[in-house]
Structure 1
Amino acid sequence: MSDLAKTPVTVITGFLGSGKTTLIRHLMQNPQGRRLAVLVNEFGTVGVDGDILRDCADENCPAGNIVELANGCICCTVADDFIPTIQALLAREPRPDHILIETSGLALPKPLLKAFDWPEIRSRITVDGVVALADAEAVAAGRFAPDPEAVEAQRAADDSLDHETPLSEVFEDQISCADLILLTKADLAGEAGLAAARKAIAAEAPRPIVMLAVTDGAVDPRVVLGLNAAAEDDLAARPSHHDGADDHEHDDFASAVIALPEIADGAALADAVAALGREHKVLRVKGHVAVAGKPMRLLVQAVGARVRQQFDRPWGEAPRQSRLVVIAERGDLDPAAIAAHLGGSVEVSDL
């Protein structure tokens, strides 16, 4: 790569649990000869996604090329976190051929694109493309894609009502900013679900956007990387609910870290975590748990009432600490009640 060439950056956005980390793991395992670097932005004080990706580090993407920024939206902390991190990645030898940025599930991508115009980096990097991941099964069920005609009819009937939830605004901003949309968990959605998801997203999209169905992050890297969108120069075509605002906040959401004792039964924990989505309106749960008699960590990830568990790697010399990050809309998060439900204690809360 010429020292004068701009390093391409792919921004990977999508709602909580849509499969961003799974996609990045696939890209790391199939780099097509590229030297990759990864910047992971977490919501909550305990990083999980970065840890998962570091387990996949290799010569094409060594552990030093994987950087995690936790407990702070990178588009809200541009000067303090984002710019210095990008500069550090560009200074690595050898320099990465391509940088992947995994945003928080709560992030708005457009303010991040604006950051690429900062003088310190605008001559050195370009946004190759914005890839938005959408959980096809959830979208097909109408969770984050409201019917525009129905919403407008309700607004016309009562001007005092606001029928767009914070979650829908996040989802719509991510879709509006995308160059490519991946409909994830296609195997769970089925053909009918995929068709419904495509229709719902097309109704929200400001322009025609290519949509591809994906299962377990398996997509040809040539489709995702090398879009050459120069998205930082195309902001007008990417409308946002927050256009015209000086900044944005994530005060609609809150997180807590729940410390757990060593457990005896992973199935019982899965049932308890699933109940959080049904009974406590929890959006996302992720973390590692120690299971009695097991030398490996149990990775727990949940979206609503849907829970996935797997043993990912041995604890080794790391402390066998069981901690789960729980995310919900601010008015719905009750850390004490959630800790009691799980049989643990509140370690950290941003309420």
Structure 2
Amino acid sequence: MPDNSIPVTVLSGILGAGKTTVLNHVLRESGDRELAVLVNDMGQVNVDAELVAESSDIADEDEELVELSNGCICCELRGDLLDAIGELTREREFDGIIVESTGVAEPLPVAQTLTLGFDQADLDPTEFYEETGIEPLEGYHLDTTVTVVDAHQFRTAMESDELVDDDGTEKHLGDLVVEQIEFCDVLLLNKCDLVDDGTLEEIEATLEVLQPRANIVRTEHGRVDPNELVDTGQFDFEAASQSAGWIRELAQPHASAEEEHGVTSFVFEARRPFHPERFADLLDRFPDPVVRAKGHFWIAGSERSEDPAEASGETVSEKRRVSRTDEAFTLNVAGQSIRVGPGGTWVDSLPPEERRERREANPELEERWHDEWGDRNIRFVIIGTEMDHAALQADLVECLVTDDEREADWTTFDDRFPTFEPPEVEGGSDGDEKAERDGKHDHTEELGIAD
């Protein structure tokens, strides 16, 4: 980065974790640093901004404090985020900018906006430049992503079935906590004075598995050395995108022994499909000790109709028949949130010529090709505390189709899984995890599917 590029710190964490307390402490203890603050709140009145103004040397009418209200910077205010930082950097020179996001914001899309600019924002770059004279990302760079974790409420949040509202979009609290943990450079474990040492060690062990790359800092009352958060040089988009514990485990799977504090993980792999009814039943009673599960799967199911008549002028009689076995699904478990989404189609389901080209272009795919199933497979990483590996492995194996069921009529199986329009993902199932990280799988559905 150029020497004059201003470092930006993004501060995330669910409501009540202590983000504003941390921010106020950093502002008070920043010494000679000139810091600007951008505060995001979902309400029409930005309460957090008022708290920052009242509790620090920054006044809300000063240009050091900018409010983004009535929206979330990880979705509808992404253009406003670029606009606000651009205005700050044009008006004055700062030693750092701190962005305090709303409690429902996910750090990944915010980081995308601050590293990719208008590629990730609903803002016209030409109009923006004409009005401000500022190029996006000119004069500043994303330097550090920080997630504040409430040690006192961590287990409660992970085990909660509460839904939080993000401007009409419901997010599961446990899922949001995990998303914020998995994409960060620094994890501030706050309110440590309210938790005994044994519990703190258990929480830290979970955090280390969910995000092995992050620097974990224990804090009380938000008191942290500003040097831990400002101008650290820690952010690397590629490293951050690839560093979540589930990604590392899938890349280098191993069955871990019972570790200290009982935080373990394992990878489940199979070639046969799941029986849709049995796997749906298992998801409805998925074990509580599972903190995180991620991966892809396929099911033995019936054909469904795809009617392209409106788009292509074909008659109804010419509609295509698409087998459920051609579809890849993604599984995303975080705490009590269980979501299933589209993962594209398997390469084996493509027309012969295209299938041959894909196989020739992808040596790893060719190596894993199965004579009967092609590239269809099941692969999950499962992370939890005090998990019974053997029991959960057995439950998953029990969900696979049996030898007798392989010869049965799969159209008779009860299939309660959602129907999706599969996204076009380059490389078939091999692109599933990448597409998930790149935000292409945004049509997941919350389960239990028995509802």
Q: TM-score, with normalisation over the residues of structure 1?
A: 0.58
Conserved 8 A contact 1:145-1:204 = no
Q: Which residue of 2 aligns with 1:346?
A: none
Conserved 8 A contact 2:39-2:101 = yes
Q: Write the distance in 2 (CA, Å) between the matches of 1:115 and 1:222.
A: 24
For 1:40, the aligned partner's letter is V
- C-alpha change, 1:195 and 1:235, in structure 2 (3 Å) is closer
Q: Which residue of 2 aligns with 1:98?
A: 96
Q: Does 1:25 align with 2:34?
A: no
Q: Write the distance in 2 (CA, Å) between the matches of 1:247 and 1:55.
A: 41
Residues 242-279 of structure 1: CA deviation (Å, up to 9, x unaligned):
52435969x99xxxxxxxxxxxxxxxxxxxxxxxxxxx
Q: Write the distance in 2 (CA, Å) between the matches of 1:183 and 1:235.
A: 19
Q: Which residue of 2 aligns with 1:194?
A: 200
Shift of the alpha carbon at 1:72? Answer: 0.7
| Runs of 5+ unmatched residues, structure 2 | 119-134, 161-170, 248-331, 333-435, 447-451
Percent of residue pairs identical: 27
Give the match's secondary structure for 2:16.
coil
Give the match's secondary structure for 1:68.
strand
Q: Which residue of 1 aligns with 2:352?
A: none
Shift of the alpha carbon at 1:21? Answer: 0.2
- C-alpha change, 1:80 and 1:248, in structure 2 (3 Å) is farther
Alignment of 1:168-187 (within 5 A): 168-187=174-193
Q: Does 1:144 align with 2:149?
A: no
Give the match's secondary structure for 2:152.
helix
- C-alpha change, 1:70 and 1:247, in structure 2 (3 Å) is farther
Give the match's secondary structure for 1:168.
helix
Q: Which residue of 1 aligns with 2:215?
A: 210
For 2:142, the aligned partner's letter is V
Give the match's secondary structure for 1:229.
coil
Q: Write the distance in 2 (CA, Å) between the matches of 1:34 and 1:224.
A: 13
Residues 29-74 of structure 1: CA deviation (Å, up to 9, x unaligned):
0113111001111122232110011124437998321111112111
2:109 to 97, 108, 111: 111
For 1:111, the aligned partner's letter is P
Residues 209-231 of structure 1: CA deviation (Å, up to 9, x unaligned):
22121111111112222320233
Give the match's secondary structure for 1:41.
strand
Conserved 8 A contact 2:145-2:235 = no
Give the match's secondary structure for 1:122.
coil
Q: Write the distance in 2 (CA, Å) between the matches of 1:197 and 1:79.
A: 32
Conserved 8 A contact 2:8-2:231 = no
For 1:195, the aligned partner's letter is E
Conserved 8 A contact 2:12-2:148 = yes
| Residue correspondences, number | 229
Q: Does 1:131 align with 2:146?
A: yes
Residues 288-344 of structure 1: CA deviation (Å, up to 9, x unaligned):
xxxxxxxxxxxxxxxxxxxxxxxxxxxxxxxxxxxxxxxxxxxxxxxxxxxxxxxxx
Q: Which residue of 2 aligns with 1:89?
A: 88
Shift of the alpha carbon at 1:202? Answer: 2.4
Q: TM-score, with normalisation over the residues of structure 2?
A: 0.46
Q: Write the distance in 1 (CA, Å) between the matches of 2:175 and 2:440.
A: 17
